[in-house]
Chains A and B, each alone.
Chain A
Amino acid sequence: MTDFSIRSDNVDVEQIMRQIRARIREKRGVDYTEEEIRELANVKLEKFLDPRGVRSDLLEQFRRKREASLPPNFKFEDTTLFETHRGLLAFIRRLLRPILKLFFNPNPLIDALHIQSKLNAQQAALEPLYYEVIHNLVLETTRLGIDVKNLKMRVESMSSRLDFDERRARALEGVVQYRPGAVAPLQPPSGGGDSREARGPESPEQSERRNRRRRRRGRRRPDDRTGAMGPQGAMGARSARGATSAEGATSAEGAAPAPEAERVPSESGYSSDRGLTPGGQSDDRGLTPVHRDPDGEPSES
């Protein structure tokens, strides 16, 4: 994780911005600008998405089809059938219209075509909206696809780290050696017939073996929740919070008076609570940011 701290009088804003950008890249996995995402959505979706789900050239096809299949709408009124730009012909048609109506009734035809014309107009008005919706959907799908890919990578990375940590923890457990005097001797349970005193002094090897047995026994008890959730777990949580606050506001309050720049949260005020970053994807610790009062002093918001 890239962090920055202010230690000298010279602030290199460009350097800070580079670090901030590196941090964003690290958080997002791959750093795409809005324009790049649009480009990806329009051109090469299949590289990033499951090609079974979305056609990569969907937008292009839609656009082409729309442009190709857009005949001009025909506005149809009751006079349309008889219209002409020639005045004489219009007069004759008007004159003969009653005779025409002796043969058939054109009104239902006119009504139907009028309604069709209106429907066409409505459809034409809706099409840009469909286009926009599809465009946005494809864009968002692309974005989500990229996010999913990044998240998968992160999950893989975290699980491999977890595996590694577990292996490391086991290995460390294996090499722990008891050193007399390093840890206060455990007090035996009172009145036990098999107390150490009763059995006499034991060698360091014996003590180490017993400690291991005890640890294993403790691990085997599935119903013993106090080991995980009891005082130690709570303390662990508390100490974690304490650590953060020590890096953050509390340390500043607790510290002796110092120059202004040193009184404020800490040089790692930005880095210590990295889970709190405004991107916020990874934070669930419920920590609060450290605010300063207008003179640069820290205070809890």
Chain B
Amino acid sequence: MKLAVAAQRYGADINGGAELHARYIAERLSRHADVEVVTTCARDYVTWKNERPEGVEQVNGIPVRRFPVTHERDPNHFGRLSRRVFDQPHSIADEIAWLESEGPASPAMIDYLERSSSQFDFILLFSYRYYHAWHGARRVPSKALLVPTAERDAAIGLGIFGPTFRGVRAVMYNSHEERAMIHAATRNEEVPGVVVGVGSDIPARTDSERFRRKHNLRKPFAIYVGRIDENKGCKELFDFFLRYANTFPRGLDLVLIGSAIIPIPQHPRIHHLGFLPDDDKFDAIAASDLLIMPSYFESLSMVALEAWALGRPVLANGRCDVLKGQCIRSGAGLYYERYEEFAETLYALESNGPLHARLGRNGRDYFTQHYTWPVIERKYLDMFDRLKREDASGARRRVESIGGWFARRQRSQPAAAEVLAKIPSTAVVPGSRSAGNLSRSA
């Protein structure tokens, strides 16, 4: 079997969520099939500047074929188009212009996928909202499997994505909440889909003492791992934690790992350690009492899975339905929506030993059952088998047309933010209506 993995960026040094996800999946599937990665020369997800050489290189034993991006992103132009398509009634042409402006626009990459599609059994397209995934799915729908990595943002309400989700061979979801949201937005229930997510290379042993010694951390602490950014909920986290620290002077410290985009408050109980290599990161999580995940929008939090794998409970932002759903389904984390809940839940995890121990154990079990690599690989392989059987039976998929020149220019599309607002945001938990096939595809 030969597979192509198409991602917007790719590299051992790229740690963006979807890109890392793509790399992990490519490396894991390479044990079962010939995998070729098709990507751009870009390294920066804001500018999409061509920084890597065009052509083929090997990354961790996988051939990676890079294509140049035709233009960098103009933030002003992109901002204007975003406001138009997200906040105002607009046309399909506006949405296509928005997609082009968002980038990374690489027609050569799409041409290659179409030209060489006959060589591949399947093409895995990562991140639905980018140029390569939309054009790739339209050019080679009969081979395309989409890994949407969709967050709850207005882009899911754009009209151009509906035909894509309905036209691909299969969709590999990250979470039940993501699937429910995409179903509600695009009505693609007929398309084969499975909730897979992604595993993580958890080390067999961690050394929390070494980490504590190295960074001179003696007191118990909660940890946050990721980009320290307002979009990730860090501003609210700082606000809540400072209030908590003032109310409760002898409670947990807060350790932050990741590059800082926003200023970090100077406080003796907040320690910023910057970006750390993976070994240190796992030691840090193992040394912590719990992981705090303050993000509002996640399609899947890999670091939360890593914390669960290491037996650490998670305190998540309850406004992110994915994290909330995972906490409930796993029985391995609590969640908050405002300060009072943050303080109470953090205090509960800090002081209630049996609760902490039980949540930690549940997290480990949850990770083992759903997110270890054999489980993930099996889900992908099962989906490939299923699609091959469909191929044998002659079933084919077509992507719907988006209309002719005039149709595309009619202001017929509602503001994407309005569409998103109509999509219910709820955690999918056993017993809820949206959890109908929870057990089947967990």
Contacts and interface: CB of A to CB of B under 8 A. Distances in A.
Interface of A: 4-6, 9-14, 16-17, 20-21, 23-24, 28, 33-34, 252, 260-267, 269-270, 273, 276-280, 288-294, 296-298, 301
30 contacts: A6-B354, A6-B358, A10-B331, A11-B331, A13-B333, A17-B345, A20-B334, A261-B354, A264-B354, A265-B353, A266-B354, A269-B353, A269-B354, A270-B348, A270-B351, A277-B347, A278-B244, A278-B247, A278-B346, A278-B347, A288-B250, A289-B251, A289-B350, A290-B353, A291-B252, A291-B289, A294-B208, A294-B220, A294-B286, A296-B353
A4 B201 CA distance: 35
A24 to B, nearest CB: 5
Contacts of A5: 354
B: interface residue count bin: 35 or more
A262 B354 contact: yes
A33 B339 CA distance: 10
Nearest to A23: B344
Nearest to B251: A289
Residue of A10, A13, A280 with most chain B CB atoms under a 10 A cut-off: A13
B352 interface: yes
A87 B250 CA distance: 77
Contact of A14 (B220, B247, B328, B356): B328
Given A267-B354, A291-B252, 11 more contacts: A11-B331, A11-B359, A17-B334, A20-B334, A20-B344, A20-B345, A264-B356, A289-B250, A292-B289, A294-B287, A296-B356
The 10 nearest A-B residue pairs measured at CB: A264-B353, A278-B343, A6-B354, A270-B352, A296-B357, A11-B331, A278-B347, A280-B247, A24-B340, A291-B220
Contacts of B359: 11
A301 to B, nearest CB: 5
A301 B250 contact: yes
A239 B338 CA distance: 37
Which of B335, B341, B351 counts the most chain A CB atoms within 10 A?
Answer: B351
B91 to A, nearest CB: 35
B340 A279 contact: yes
Given A17-B335, A21-B341, A6 B355 contact: yes
B164 interface: no
Nearest to B288: A294
A278 B340 CA distance: 8
Nearest to A27: B340
A263 B286 CA distance: 20
Contact of A289 (B248, B335, B360): B248
A277 B355 CA distance: 16
Contacts of A16: 334, 348, 355
B429 interface: yes
Interface string B205-245: 00010000000000110000000000000000000000010
Most buried by A among B220, B352, B356, B429: B352
What secondary structure prevails in chain B residues at the interface with A?
Answer: helix
B354 A293 contact: no
B431 to A, nearest CB: 10
B362 interface: yes
A188 to B, nearest CB: 51
A270 B334 CA distance: 15
Interface of B: 208, 219-220, 244, 247-248, 250-252, 286-289, 327-328, 331-335, 338, 340-341, 343-348, 350-360, 362, 429
A20 B287 contact: no
A34 B353 contact: no
Nearest to A10: B331
A14 B288 contact: no
Contacts of B335: 13, 17
B233 to A, nearest CB: 16
Contacts of B333: 13
B344 A24 contact: yes
A269 B351 contact: yes
Most buried by A among B286, B347, B360: B347
B247 A292 contact: no
Contacts of B287: 294
B352 to A, nearest CB: 4
B355 to A, nearest CB: 5
Contacts of B288: 294
A34 B219 CA distance: 33
Contact of A261 (B289, B338, B358): B358
A296 B360 contact: yes
A4 B429 CA distance: 21
B348 A20 contact: yes
A265 B340 contact: no
A301 B219 contact: yes
Contacts of A17: 334-335, 341, 345
Contact of B334 (A13, A278, A296): A13
B145 to A, nearest CB: 32
Contacts of A267: 354
B243 to A, nearest CB: 9
Contacts of B344: 20, 23-24, 277-279
A13 B347 CA distance: 15
Contacts of B244: 278
A269 to B, nearest CB: 5
A28 B340 contact: yes
Contacts of A266: 353-354
Nearest to B344: A20
Highest count of chain B CB atoms <10 Å: which of A10, A14, A262, A297: A14
A267 B250 CA distance: 21
B208 A280 contact: no
A293 B347 contact: no
Contacts of B252: 291
Contact of A12 (B331, B332, B348): B331
- Please indicate which of the listed interface residues A267, A277, A293 has the most CB atoms of chain B within 10 Å of its own CB: A277
